[in-house]
Amino acid sequence: MKNSEIRGLSTPELIERIETESVRYKMMGLNHAISPLENPSQITKLRRDIARMKTELRKRELNK
């Protein structure tokens, strides 16, 4: 997910997206531990996307 897409989300949408992606990240990690994923770099990409979303959320909190 690109930063421009993240900025386009409203704050409630951003919070909801962080929660769903965090759950997805945890499940992906568990699944990878049991049987390796085809592309383990997906885990890294997802973790970085979550970090980008949290950064944007924090930026919005500080601007209030």
pLDDT tens for 35-48 read 999 999 999 999 99
The domain 3-63 having CATH identifier 1.10.3470: the answer here is no
Residue 12 has pLDDT above 90, yes or no: yes
The Cβ of residue 22 has, within 10 Å, a number of other Cβ atoms equal to 15
pTM score: 0.91
Q: Is 37 helix (H, G, I), strand (E, B) or coil?
A: coil
49: which residues sit within 8 A by CB, 6+ positions away? 1, 21
Residue boundaries of the structural domains of the chain: 3-63
Contact by Cβ (8 Å): 43, 64? no
